[in-house]
Chain A
Amino acid sequence: MKNSLEFASDRILVPAGLTVTDLERVLGQLLGHRVDSGDLYFQSVKHESFLLEDGIVKEGSFNLDHGVGVRAISGEKTGFAYSDDIILPALEQAAVAARAIASQGSQTALCAWKHKITKPLYTEKSPLDSLTNEEKIALLRQIDSFARKQDPRVTQVIVSLVGVFDTILVVSSDGTMNADVRPLVRLNVNVIVEQNGRRESGSSGGGGRTTYEYFTENERAFDYAKEAVHQALVNLEAIDAPAGTMTVVLGPGWPGVLLHEAVGHGLEGDFNRKGSSTFSGRIGERVASPLCTVVDDGTIPNRRGSLTIDDEGTPTQRTVLIENGILKGYLQDKLNAKLMGVAPTGNGRRESFSHIPMPRMTNTFMLPGPHAPEEIIASVEKGLYAVNFGGGSVDITSGKFVFSANEAYLIENGKITRPVKGATLIGNGPDVMNKVVMVGNDLALDSGIGTCGKEGQSVPVGVGQPTLRVDNITVGGTKNN
């Protein structure tokens, strides 16, 4: 079997008639102009999606994109150009454009190629070919009828199935020549339920860097449908959410979006190099309660947020961000690592060849603690138990972050009582992390649904956490107690 570099080369360079000598020449052109370093990022992506609604698979679509991004770095400056034609003249033109950034910087020579094959964390098979088109359609229809059978109040079911097969090859003046073959699948089920004129929705899904068979194994796809219907039916009974500051118990898994917003973004190397983050210059300081250990780990096989190598060719790793409440490290790409005098952490990511890489999260989660989840809920006299969330966002400078619950319950006298409507929770990252007073023993990662946006670029990520009790966080309901 071919390794990923041979595979990527066959898939991208050979059809374009490009050789390693051509790449060396383009990099040489990039460097000949007082540029510190430069890289070329080749990409070829196949993407397909199917949509079922009203009981029929209405739409199928297929996209094929490819191109090459050329970057030149001189000190803190980045010059960038790209082309969706992978041909030598276009590459050379992009190199001339990108190197226009250089006004200072040292004369740099091209390093010798360091071929290093990193063991892939996922299959190199195309998910698009893992089921026949007939099987994909049949799967969507089975999910639809299964969801409708769950409850007569289900009035609408929307199922989407997406498969991506992404091949990248990155060559850099530091000698990096590395490639990655990246499958990604995602299935989502949305339902609308109706009772006495009241309508509510529920949504569930999952996926990862694997093939479509993932959804048929262990009835996973049907579990998503069950979960979506459950969530919608719970919301039919929901009363107004409380407003004000209270104790909140966050469920395991996807509620880990808390960590992504409250901690993760603020620890990205670019913000900290520039001193614009509320966490800037605070390595070694206490930024969370001693119960909290938070890591970013891009090396978990088959996860949505995982990568064998990042988009600069650096192998991913497990990076400890916070250990027992003490800030330990930042997430780095090559540029920011160099400027801060530390090693890259394999977090240099980009949405595509037409975007500039920057430090991004992979799978970010909190390690488990000693408490059973039941014990945590029983400890709360009055509060909110939030088990499912929509998205979140953060202002890394002030540290303010929000995340929006879409399935939550009241806790009264240590017991989960009534469901409440969705509400946004708001806090300040370091404050909230210091108010984590109990950590569960039930660490779970999300089901593979996360997409993170930063400066207009979207990348797939994972989050996770055990059940957490946070004292004093502001809950944005409508009912003022």
Chain B
Amino acid sequence: MNNALPCRLNEFVNESTYQQMVDDMLKMARQLGADQAEVGAHASIGLNVTVRLNEVETLEFNRDKAIGITVYVGQRKGSASTTDISPASLKSTVEAAISLARMTQPDPFAGLAEAIEMAQDIKPLELYHPWDLTVEEAIRLSKTCEQNALAFDKKIVNSEGSTLSSAQSYHVYGNSHGFLGYYPTSRHSLSCTVIAEDAKGMERDYQYTVARAKELLDKAEKVGIDAGERAVRRLSAKKLPTQRVPVLFHATVASGLLSHFISAISGGRLFRKSSFLLDSLNKPVFGKHIHIYERPHIKGGMGSAPFDSDGVATKDKDIVLEGEVKSYILSAYSARKLNLINTGNAGGVHNIFIKPGEEDFDALLKKMNRGLLVTELMGQGINLVTGDYSRGAAGFWVENGQIQYPVHEITIAENLQNMFKRLVAVGNDVDKRSNIQTGSLLIEEMTLAGT
């Protein structure tokens, strides 16, 4: 089998053509009467191979591109985008944005970020590590991964397969301040999902590894073995009686809790008054031992970016210091709405960390002594307006600081404000795969609903 599509980004994307397109669209917008404009484009190529029960199941070649423009006519805003980058299409895209901007209503806060905030001398962040991956190698790695999962235990009876994905993307953003920024990125991942069965029924679980460089991926064997182990250990899960208990969120699911915090202090929710953390700046939300910070320029970081989606320089910052909120998460627009200083977070956050404590995972189990270890969460029962949190969960019952047996078909509920206040320990078992990195998080008490 030959890889019939270009496997290098530069065979698919001519960088100078993309930069020229951005420039052309900005010029066109100005000619058509825009006072300000911004254009973002991206192009990516990728390969996904899924192997199931030792046979190739899908072989997928991805090639995507898109370009979009936002124009401001006075204080009125219009946007348009397309996947068709022919000159005629680019022209009609600009025209569509202009015509929308002529009909929307003036918003005194609309417009680009200030020119002075634009990222200067963009430093390379080492986000692009292309992998000359052949289809054969992708198949071989996926097979190795799945074989290790299937061989882990006789109770592994079925598989949803193992998938290797490798993608390379090129990002360019320019605006009418004269800013033009661009950089390529890569992302490679290997995952595996298998099914274990015993007399009580089937359970599935998965494992994955993800990195910008192939050298940083976990070994295929390890990913497979972990997937097998995770599926088997869930078998013969029990339900639990309804009670108030301590809950330990395993590092693999704990980043979700922090992402709710980040959402609740994000500009869009604050100016819409749809957050339970309004007016929380300089106020304690967590205990004094909690520090949360953002580091956007980590070399090769999964969340790293030199500038945000307004073209504004991203920067290191403390978000929570000694439990107090020190910075909201703002874009140019939300900062203007709230009359605060822009934090360079248009489009989101870039590498969030919560400072790990001294304790490893086993020490946290001991500290909890008796309670629930959560390894899976289900559903979207989070109300960020009120902070009410209620989600399906599965995991393990812990007594005497040790895992006793798997549990399922339960929910955990509490108000997030109380959960943050009662976040008593952060483990040093940090899961480094996510844009929000944390160790396991121990919450002093929540309501567990079961039988």
Contact = CB atoms under 8 A, between A and B. Distances in A.
A150 interface: no
Contacts of A155: 273
Given A156-B274, A404-B380, A479-B447, A64 B82 contact: yes
A412 interface: no
Contact of B451 (A54, A134, A245, A428): A245
A108 interface: no
A28 B201 CA distance: 46
A451 interface: no
B55 interface: yes
A384 B170 CA distance: 52
Contacts of B79: 59-62
A58 B333 CA distance: 12
A331 interface: no
A199 B68 CA distance: 36
Interface in B77-106: 77-84, 89, 92-93, 96-97, 99-101, 103-106
Given A93-B5, A201-B383, A244-B449, A404 B201 contact: no
A56 B390 contact: no
B55 A77 contact: yes
Nearest to B394: A400
B63 A83 contact: yes
B379 A403 contact: yes
A200 interface: yes
Given A58-B105, A58-B110, A77-B57, A398 B391 contact: no
B388 A422 contact: yes
Interface string A456-481: 00000000000000000011111110
Contact of B202 (A60, A278, A392, A427): A278
Contacts of A402: 378-379, 381, 391-392, 411
A80 B135 CA distance: 13
A29 to B, nearest CB: 11
A370 B93 CA distance: 55
Contacts of A78: 57-59
A100 B59 contact: yes
B204 interface: yes
Nearest to B377: A402
Interface in B242-256: 242-244
Contacts of B103: 60, 133-134, 137
Interface string B387-429: 0101110100000000000001111111100000000000000
A403 B380 CA distance: 8
B interface majority secondary structure: strand
Nearest to B1: A100
B408 A398 contact: yes
B392 A422 contact: no
Contacts of A399: 201
A interface majority secondary structure: strand
Given A60-B79, A192-B272, A278-B201, A476 B107 contact: no
A275 to B, nearest CB: 6
Contacts of B178: none
A96 B381 contact: no
A241 interface: yes
Given A81-B60, A201-B385, A423 B110 contact: no
A98 B1 CA distance: 11
B188 interface: no
A397 B83 contact: no
A67 B83 contact: yes
A82 interface: yes
A28 B287 CA distance: 67
B259 interface: no
A101 B59 contact: yes
A61 B80 contact: yes
Nearest to A261: B379
Contacts of B221: none
Interface in A160-206: 192, 194, 199-201
B10 interface: no
A476 B100 contact: no
A63 interface: yes
Interface of A: 50, 53-54, 56-67, 76-85, 93-94, 96-98, 100-101, 103, 133-134, 137, 155-156, 158, 192, 194, 199-201, 235, 241, 243-245, 274-276, 278, 354, 356, 390-393, 395, 397-404, 406, 421-428, 474-480
Interface of B: 1-5, 52, 55-66, 68, 77-84, 89, 92-93, 96-97, 99-101, 103-107, 110, 135, 158, 160, 195, 201-204, 234, 242-244, 272-274, 378-381, 383, 385-386, 388, 390-392, 394, 408-415, 447-451
| Minimum-distance CB pairs A-B, first 6 | A476-B411, A402-B379, A60-B100, A402-B392, A424-B381, A243-B449
19 contacts: A60-B78, A61-B80, A77-B55, A84-B84, A94-B61, A100-B59, A100-B135, A235-B386, A243-B242, A274-B160, A356-B60, A393-B380, A398-B408, A404-B379, A424-B381, A424-B413, A426-B378, A476-B411, A477-B447
Given A63-B80, A100-B135, A400-B409, 14 more contacts: A54-B107, A60-B78, A76-B55, A77-B57, A78-B59, A83-B63, A244-B242, A278-B202, A399-B201, A426-B379, A475-B449, A477-B390, A478-B447, A480-B243
